[in-house]
Amino acid sequence: MTKPTPTEIGQGYDDFADLLDQLWGDNLHHGYWDDASDGASLDEATNRLTGELAGMLAIEPGDRLLDIGCGVGEPVIRLGRTHEITGVGVSISKRQVERAGDRAAAAGLADRLSFQYADAMALPFPDESFDIVWALESLHHMPDRWHVIRQAARVLRPGGRLAIGDFLLRSDHGSGADAAARVDLVREGVLKIVDLDEYLSRIREAGLVPETAEDVSDHTRPSWSKSAEIFAAVRDRAEQYIGARQFERTLSNFRQLSDAPMVGYVLLTARKPA
């Protein structure tokens, strides 16, 4: 399966911006539920995931944060409110950048937060210019996530921290042809995931020191079936945007992924040596 280029990904987010707004709202990432009895809405659960990752960083008021793949800006706007950070969000979608800027202005945070169109494969920032680099569910889109992590290491100041939320290959692959096909789907196809050992060693190769790595797969997994439910409920509208074939393919991916224990989710942080 060929991975779309950054330009194609940005075009996709631009083209489907209205649909994504209606489907997922302000956060374009997975939710976090405590357990099966947790009745949190998608909105509450996605904000919670932001809070979980932020809780792993000792964020100080005034810290300068770069959000790689910022969506419509909700995570960084939230951190602007809760932790009084200053920051820049970058996205490969022009519409997202525009919306994020409007949303920050509406929240009264335009003096501290800005957004710009940029490809994370070539971050347009000087060396050592951020206290925190944050990438929540964006690295799986990148042609080479390790290159982006090396870029993150470059723009972090010594002592600065990297925070990542990303998909993860877990050891529970299951067996048989069906399981093998699912591993291919996520490994080589839509997500390109690796296991935690490889993830951590790539972070070390980038010159960063891993600090925390929390496998939150059991908390985030309901996101796939909720995505399938939400998507199926707007079939007619979604088909107008993406066509019947792409709709079926996406729905089938969500359903397969909701029943794929090998597809996990990790929150991790790392520090650039001082």
Ligand X SMILES: C[S@@+](CC[C@H](N)C(=O)[O-])C[C@H]1O[C@@H](n2cnc3c(N)ncnc32)[C@H](O)[C@@H]1O
Specify the stretch interacting with ligand X by CB under 6 A; choose among 70-78, 170-178, 179-187, 226-234.
70-78
Question: Taking the complex as a whole, how short is the minimal distance between the CB of residue 90 and ligand X, in angstroms?
Answer: 5
Q: Which of 63, 119, 131, 166 binds ligand X (CB under 6 A)?
A: 119
Determine the Cα–Cα distance for residues 274 and 266; give it in Å rounded to an integer. Answer: 25
Q: Shortest distance, CB of residue 180 to ligand X, whole angstroms?
A: 26
Q: What is the dihedral of CA 55, 60, 61, 67, to 10 degrees?
A: -60
Q: Which of 47, 86, 91, 220 binds ligand X (CB under 6 A)?
A: 91
In the chain, the amino acid numbered 64 is R
- CB-CB contact of 166 with 68 (8 Å): no
> What burial letters (b/e) apply to 94-131, b meaning 16+ CB within 10 Å?
ebbbbbbbebbeebebeebbbbeebbbeebebeeebbb
User: To which residue do tokens 């070390």 refer?
Assistant: 204
Using CB under 6 A as the binding rule, whether residue 136 contacts ligand X is answered as yes
Residue closer to ligand X (CB basis): 26 or 131: 26
137 interacts with ligand X by CB under 6 A: yes
CB nearer ligand X, residue 6 or residue 189 = 6
* 90 contacts ligand X (rule: CB under 6 A): yes
Per rule CB under 6 A, is residue 27 in the interface with ligand X?
yes
Which residue ranges make up the site for ligand X (CB under 6 A)?
6, 9-10, 13, 27-29, 69-71, 74-75, 90-93, 96, 119-121, 136-138, 141-142
